[in-house]
Structure 1
Amino acid sequence: MFGIYLKRELSRRKKAALVIAMGLALGIALVITVNSVTAGMQQAQDKVLKSLYGLGTDMTVTKAMAAPSSSSSGRPKFNFDAKSDDSTSQSSDRVMTQGGQSLKSSLVEDVASQKGVADAVGALSLNVTKVDGSFTQGKAEATQQGGRGGGTGQPRVQGGGASFDVNSYSVAGVDVTQQDLGPLSTSKITSGKTFTSAQTDAKVAVVSKSYAKEKKYEVGDTFKISGTKYEVIGIATPDSSETTTDVYLPLKQAQTLGDSKDKVTTIYVKATDSQQISAVKSTIQKNISGTTVTTSADLADTVSGSLSTASDLATSVGKWLSIAVLVAAFLVAALLTSSAVSRRVREFGTLKALGWPSRRVTRQVVGESIVNGLLGGALGIALGLGAAYAVTAISPKLTAELAASSGGGGMGGRMGGGAAQQAKNTVEIALTAPVSVTTIALAAGLAIAGGLIAGAMGGWRASRMRPADALRSVS
């Protein structure tokens, strides 16, 4: 009886049922869209952070660069021989550490022994400035004096000059025995191979895809740094964004180039429990003084640009807007249901006169409202999925600006506060809008809740009607 009556009443009031369902559908669709876009922005931010940290890295340990002394400017110097009569090409490399003050390699073991630390590995960030070109000496030519008794005047130097090209690139020293943690963990080898554990001091290199393209390097090619020849054994492509590290070398080779024996600039740390990162950070700072510990949460605060702005809007304005629209949809559904009950005075009064108890009348109204809610939920989920699919298909581009020291140098270079002239590293991310099962379940729950709220209000009003009300409504 309940089902037959429910079906008949919904069929009679199709327009009213559709209006209530569409109101709920719009609110639910907005909730799904905002949640999916917010999830997409979170994924985009995670990609940016992973491009800096590397998979599995929870924090880094560095030491801020000390202020330069008055006796040294800290700027690179180059010495060239300009006495040659020939236009001989000359070249000079200047290798400098970056990313903060150097730390003793022994600190890596100290960090690894701290409570809550699963693993730790050291890396060395270098910046190489290469200057090459040639001088051309001018020629002294006599000048003709004016006047009657003309003769030759003082000779003047004609021509000559210098032409030099300056190239700056970043180098990261990698612990080849632990490549899953450190600067190279943000990339995958797409050509050639990576280091082996036996190549701790080998003269081999892995170069980034962008740098290989710029220099036209291929696997098997060689290049020199400060007179040392290195063979390219692999080309690395970053997992999620463009890396600022150009060349990866075995850690011992990087230490030799940078005159930093048994030194590192960054210690990459993996925690045993991702929920205890703050506690591990406090432990390291307490037990290893003079160091700066930076977590992914700290680094996220430095992200700016359109990604950060859009994320803030989605988190604050978007969520509040969706809540407001959802509440409005619930109120509209409740008011429409209550209004529909008012127009059914004769019907409910007659049913009560025939012996229907108030609870049965209330159950009938609530049942109709729940069906309207489920219909609105289905429409809302369909609209929300369509909106999320449209965002993913369009994939609008967002930019994330990250504080980075000039010249790159891996994450150590990015986070060594006073380590060099600070610059902005801009990363472009395509926005997606993934819809999770949790979001769908939330939408279904909201649909049922909307139906219950509307039904409760309408049922309460219907239960208060008396058979006499039906008789008075007869004209």
Structure 2
Amino acid sequence: MFTLTYLRRELRHRSRQALLVATGLAVGVGLVITVTASTGAVGSAQTAVLDTLNGIGTDVTATAKPPPNGDRDHAPSDSRARDASTPGLSVAGGASMDASTVDAVARLAHVAHVAGSLVLSEIGPPPAGSAAIPTTTRIDGIDVTRPGLGPYTSATLRSGRSLSPSDTDSRVAVIDTRYAAAHQLRIGSTLVIAGIRFTTIGVVDQPAASGAASIYLPLAAAQQLPAGQHAHALAGKVSTIYIAATSAADIGTVGAELAALLPSATVTSSRDLAEAVSGSLASATALAHDLGTWLTVGVLLATVATASLLTLASVTRRTREFGTLKALGWTGRRVITQVVAESAAIGLAGAALGVAVGYCGIGLVNAIAPALTATVDDPTGTDSQNVAVHLNVHTGTGTIAAATLLAITAALIAGAIAAWSITRLQPAHALTATE
């Protein structure tokens, strides 16, 4: 009881010094929270971009590669790119693989899930009253019996329903909101693709990216579409295979296995895709990784050093006080306990104030952070995909708990250093010291 009473009296009597130490801790804690949250937001933004481009949960993508230009004239007609000026359908990228390849990939030892898709481009006549520029519609035939992988998983259903395994042999379609608005389509509207009629059953909203499909069809229905004059039938074909590895550690192994299994395909892992991201998001990611790490370490060291110096200076002014207490019978352990208890109380106050400073910093970053952009080349090689990214900086209970522990630890270290220095003095010397 006496210790608590003495602790409360000393903190109230030396409130200015305690507030100064707590403020130093709060600044450090607030900076750590802000930097950590901002770094996490940039990492989350990059993950969101990869999910948008590659699909949620997709670790590796295998894309059919068109033959070299020199061999294009002798390549099978089903793998040739069509003339973009000729109305009709073509496989995006100009190459496809047998659908049986999907089953072969699924049998690999380190593959957890796999799904194939057939990405098509439909060249249509130019809009009435516009220049003679044909329109291009991106169509993605997805395997509805193997959901969960591919760009379609990043879409959010706005109306109607999504594609399901029961739609395998149905002529139904899910369309993007922008495509629906541009063509005045709604649930139940009829779509005509290469002369085949499809019924719209759902409308989805997708992150803004030029590579997002405007129309999603069941894979079997897409394979039944008539290909253009430069291509054979699409039956039994896929253009892209999306793979989820059994674990993050197996992604490299899966990439190597795919390269051996599909030597003519382009194999892209999530890491390759992340390295291919350019634009301001890539710069922010590199800056957050390099500068953020060093800044956090620097702030931690500065916080501990500042708290130690301020606490040591405060305790040094109390040399006669502690000398008197030791002369009255206080042991060195009791003096250390008293100083450390005061430091712990100041650390708690600094943690609470630092959390408030951290939230203010997060709010400031959200208010002034500019929109970022990311550009990634499409795996098919047909175009580049541009994504606008808005940072959503926030923190969680784990970060708050770590920041609180940081403040208390820094205060305890500072108190322990100061207490150790004061207990080295003999009572007689301490009593003769001037405050």
TM-score range, shorter chain: 0.7 to 0.9
Cα distance change, pair 102–12 in 1 and its aligned pair in 2 (3 A): same
Aligned pairs (5 A) from 1:147-158: none
Q: In the alignment, which residue of structure 1 is the partner of 2:373?
A: 400
| Matching residue within 104, 109, 114 for 1:115 | 109
Pick one of 288, 298, 304 that aligns with 1:324. Answer: 298
1:211 counterpart residue number: 179
Q: 1:196 to 1:5 in 2, by over 3 A?
A: closer
State which drifts further: 113-122 or 63-72.
Answer: 63-72
Please, which of 220, 224, 247 is the counterpart of residue 273 of structure 1?
247
Distance 1:322 1:287 in 2: 44
Q: Find the aligned partners of 1:70 and 1:284 in 2 and give their Cα distance.
A: 24
Given the alignment, which residue of 257, 263, 271 partners 2:226? 257
Uncovered stretches (5+) of structure 2, i.e. residues with no partner: 74-79, 228-232
CA contact (8 A) 1:108 1:122 kept: yes
For 1:229-378, list aligned pairs within 5 A: 229-238=197-206, 240-242=207-209, 244-255=212-223, 256-258=225-227, 259-378=233-352
What amino acid maps onto 2:100 in structure 1?
Answer: S
Q: Structure 1 length normalisation: TM-score? A: 0.81
Deviation string 1:173-212 (CA, Å, 9 cap, x unpaired) is: 1223233333422223322333343443443322211111
Q: Choose between structure 1 and 2: higher strand proportion.
A: 1
Alpha-carbon distance in 2 for matches of 1:320, 1:106: 50
Aligned amino acid, residue 23 of structure 1: G
Distance 1:271 1:470, change over 3 A: closer
Does residue 95 of structure 2 align to residue 101 of structure 1? yes
Letter of the structure 1 residue corresponding to residue 302 of structure 2:
A
Does the 8 Å contact 1:330/1:450 carry over to 2? yes
The structure that has the greater radius of gyration is 1
2:390 is matched by which residue type in structure 1?
A: A
Matched residue SS, 1:426: strand
Equivalent in the alignment of 1:458: 418
The answer to whether 1:190 aligns with 2:187 is no
TM-score by length of 2: 0.88
Is the 8 Å Cα contact of residues 307 and 398 (structure 1) preserved in structure 2?
no
CA distance in 1, matches of 2:204, 2:174: 7
Partner of 1:56: 57
1:125/1:173 contact within 8 Å kept: yes
Residues 1:379 and 2:362 are matched in the alignment: no
Alignment partners' CA distance in 2, 1:278 and 1:447 = 40
Structure 1: how far apart are the matches of 2:291 and 2:127? 57
Match of 2:230 in 1: none
Aligned length: 420
Cα distance, 1:323 vs structure 2: 2.5
Match of 2:77 in 1: none
Contact 2:98 2:236 in 1 (8 A): yes
2:379 corresponds, among 415, 427, 431, to 415
CA contact (8 A) 2:139 2:214 kept: yes
Is the alpha carbon distance of 1:399 and 1:257 closer, same or farther for their aligned partners in structure 2, counting shifts above 3 Å? farther
- 1:93-118 CA deviation, whole Å, 9 max, x = no partner? 23221146311111010001111222
TM-fit CA distance, 1:281:
2.4
**Secondary structure at 1:301's aligned position in 2?**
helix
Tell me the equivalent position of 1:434: 394
1:361-414, Cα deviation, whole Å (9 max, x unpaired): 22222222222222111111121123224445x38453332323xxxxxxxxx2
240-249 or 44-53, which deviates more: 240-249
RMSD: 2.7
Q: Deviations over 1:32-79 (max 9, x none)?
A: 11111112222222221111222332221123222224775956176x
Decide whether the 8 Å contact of 1:24 with 1:326 is kept in 2.
no
Instruction: Report what 2:21 is aligned to.
Output: 20
Matched letter for residue 444 of structure 1: T
Compared with structure 1, are the counterparts of its residues 106 and 374 closer, same or farther at alpha carbon in structure 2 (3 Å cutoff)?
same
Supply the AA of the counterpart residue of 1:399: L
For structure 1, the 5+ residue unaligned runs are 79-91, 135-161, 405-413
Matching residue of 1:137: none
Three-state SS of the structure 1 residue aligned to 2:187 is: coil
**Most deviating of 169-178 and 438-447:** 169-178
Q: 1:133 to 1:53 in 2, by over 3 A?
A: closer
What SS class does the counterpart of residue 205 from structure 2 fall into? strand
| One-letter amino acid matched to 1:436 | G
> What is the CA–CA distance in structure 2 between the aligned matches of 1:400 and 1:188, rounded to whole Å?
21
How many Å apart are 1:16 and its aligned residue? 0.7
SS of match in other structure, 2:134: strand
Alpha-carbon distance change, 390 to 474 in structure 1, aligned in 2, over 3 angstroms: closer
Q: Is the 8 A contact 1:219 1:232 kept in 2?
A: yes
